[in-house]
Amino acid sequence: MGRLSVSLCGIELDNPVIPASGTFGYGHEFAELYDINCLGSLSFKGTTLHERLGNPLPRIAETSAGMLNAVGLQNPGVDRVICEELPKLAACFRKPVIANVSGFSVEEYAEVCRRLDAQPQVGWLEVNVSCPNVHGGGMSFGTEPKAAAEVTRAVKAVTTKPVILKLSPNVTDIVAIARACEDAGADALSLINTLMGMRIDLKMRRPILANTTGGLSGPAVFPVALRMVWQVSQAVSIPVIGLGGIQNAEDVIEMLLAGAAAVQVGAANLVNPYACRDIVDALPGVMDRLHIHNLRDIIGGSHG
């Protein structure tokens, strides 16, 4: 084991740096720029049962410390991901990957996870419960403990690999939802997903995004993400993956101290496609400066 190595649900990672879903395509696109095997793993683009074209344009808006997106889960559907995208990824990445899954009913979550669970390169299933429940009045599965637990149980019933529940920060009590997912069998949690926000075009006097609202990501959300990781990691006994506004190696250290077992880097990839590689390269120097010998030793180190 190297000094940067960590463990996630019993699977060893060379380092804790994982590109976040929706910001790294299916991985092979970035492999044209650098050897992505330097990463701990990667979480590929959110996948649904059927193809989705996504939301109308415009669906991206800049903010002073981040960006808003309302892409709308554009993806080719799970069968094409399995047949077309995963073979391309396997040709350039030799490590287990995280399959990010979205759905609009409990049954859809379960079916997509069942199909991806059978793929050899998939090491974990990351279930995004921020999607609207179309059979439950449009409320997101991740905003209510009972609904999040129902998705967790359904997915665990049809899978053999570790299941990570990706939690929404747009809730009153994220700890209650985290505990409900753990009680329902979740193997790990990832947080946070984006915060809801909007921008208005001053000349047009209309929302910039065609969807009106979108998810805020980037450095603006880092303090919120850090606080939620700190809270949740002390409330559950399963690993937590921290994400939200991570820009550099110092942010990674801070997330681990807050209780994260690994991290995901999202919006930074859209600003600098080499961001994850650069963070991995910078970690040893930052560790030396802070007198950290092994990253495993500092996980949860701020809990007092």
**Can 181 be counted among the known catalytic residues?**
no
Number of Cβ within a 10 Å radius of residue 40: 25
Give the C-alpha separation, 95 to 88, whole Å: 13
Contact in structure between 40 and 13 (CB atoms under 8 Å)? yes
Q: At what angle do helices 145-156 and 106-117 cross, to 10 degrees?
A: 30
Contact in structure between 174 and 193 (CB atoms under 8 Å)? no
Number of Cβ within a 10 Å radius of residue 181: 30
Candidates 9, 38, 83, 131; catalytic one: 131
Q: At what angle do helices 174-183 and 222-235 cross, to 10 degrees?
A: 40
Give the C-alpha separation, 70 to 209, whole Å: 7
Q: Supply the residues annotated as catalytic.
A: 131
